């Protein structure tokens, strides 16, 4: 075997992927060729240094939670799936009926959004589900969101409220920030999103209020069990 033919085989030889007869031929060539032996050693060294690179990366808590949650979704029986289908069909019909009833009273987009965000607030506050980043330092929180959201992340200072941390969320399919604050013994959720949203004024849903404000192209929506005037004031005084 010539050195040129050897070069074709060395890499597979290093990986132990050559058939027996070729392995023997490479072994025999290497015993007598210093140059090919050097190449073989450097290829093996390369394999070794690549193996030292990180091969695992912990995903954000929200991704882990969703993946873990799949096992329960996929585990439903046929009967359960049928019941779920029936339930969703009934729910869809109820939604259509409700939408028709409410069309002339409440702007559906803003009310639906308010309901959705209040529901997110209730199930995501750190008392219920651990935050993905826990820190009172706005720099730490911004750093967590860097590259996780499609905009430059912010961590506004709300006067009289303490930053607790945050987690990733989606609003209208757009990756957004969800920050948590504490004030007056209540936990507040601040949603920050570049999605085009109707943020005007305040809404009430499930015993909570939600108020909005645009800052540049970012929509800020503050949710909590406080009077809407208090939430509006906090938003108006928020320093980005």
Partner 1 sequence: MNRDEFAELAVSYLDELTAFALRLTSNAADADDLVQMAFERAFRAWSTLREPGACRTWLFRIARNAFLNERRARNARPELQLVEFDPLRDLPVVPAEAVERLDARALEEALSTLAAEQRETLLLSDLWGFTYDEIAEITGVPTGTVRSRIARARGRIIAHLGEASEGRRRRRRSP
Contact positions toward partner 1, by CB under 8 A? Answer: 4, 7-8, 10-12, 15, 17, 35, 38-39, 41-60, 62-64, 66-68, 70-71, 73-75, 147-150, 168, 175
Q: Between 144 and 181, whose beta carbon lies closer to partner 1?
A: 144
Looking at the DSSP bridge assignments, the partners of residue 67 are none
Q: Between 150 and 159, whose beta carbon lies closer to partner 1?
A: 150
| Shortest distance (Å) from residue 168 CB to partner 1 | 8
Which one-letter DSSP state was computed for residue 192? E
165 CA to centre of own chain: 14
| Shortest distance (Å) from residue 39 CB to partner 1 | 6
Instruction: Classify 240 as helix, strand or coil.
Output: coil
Contact residues for 188 (Cβ-Cβ < 8 A; gap 6+): 158, 161, 180, 181, 182, 222, 223, 224, 226, 231, 234
| Shortest distance (Å) from residue 139 CB to partner 1 | 18
Contact residues for 106 (Cβ-Cβ < 8 A; gap 6+): none
CA distance 225 to 118: 10
| Shortest distance (Å) from residue 221 CB to partner 1 | 21
Beta-strand (E) ranges in the chain?
133-134, 162-171, 174-183, 186-193, 202-205, 208-215, 218-224
| Shortest distance (Å) from residue 12 CB to partner 1 | 5
- Region for 167 from its dihedrals, namely left if φ exceeds 0, alpha if ψ lies in -120 to 50, beta otherwise: beta
CA distance 127 to 112: 25
| Shortest distance (Å) from residue 174 CB to partner 1 | 11
| Shortest distance (Å) from residue 22 CB to partner 1 | 11
CA distance 59 to 135: 19
**Contact between 115 and 204 (Cβ < 8 Å):** no
């Amino acid at each position: 075997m010539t050195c040129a033919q050897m070069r074709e085989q060395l890499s597979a030889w290093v990986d132990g992927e050559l058939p027996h007869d070729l392995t023997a031929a490479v072994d025999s060539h290497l015993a007598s060729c210093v140059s090919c032996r050097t190449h073989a050693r450097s290829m093996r060294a390369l394999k070794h240094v690549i193996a030292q690179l990180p091969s695992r990366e912990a995903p954000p808590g929200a991704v882990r939670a969703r993946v873990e949650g799949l096992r329960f979704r996929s585990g439903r029986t046929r009967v359960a799936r049928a019941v779920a289908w029936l339930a969703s069909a009934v729910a869809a019909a109820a939604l259509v009926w409700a939408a028709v009833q409410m069309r002339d009273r409440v702007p559906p987009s803003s009310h639906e959004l308010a309901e959705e965000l209040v529901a997110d607030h209730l199930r995501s506050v750190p008392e219920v589900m651990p935050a993905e980043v826990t820190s009172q330092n706005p720099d730490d929180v911004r750093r967590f969101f860097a590259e996780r959201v499609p905009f430059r992340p912010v961590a506004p200072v709300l006067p009289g409220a303490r930053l607790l941390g945050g987690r990733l969320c989606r609003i209208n399919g757009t990756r957004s920030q969800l920050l948590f604050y504490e004030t007056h013994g209540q936990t507040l959720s601040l949603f920050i999103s570049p999605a085009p949203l109707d943020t005007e004024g305040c809404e009430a849903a499930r015993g909570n209020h939600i108020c909005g404000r645009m800052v540049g192209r970012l929509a800020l929506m503050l949710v909590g069990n406080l009077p809407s005037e208090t939430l509006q004031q906090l938003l108006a005084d928020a320093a980005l």
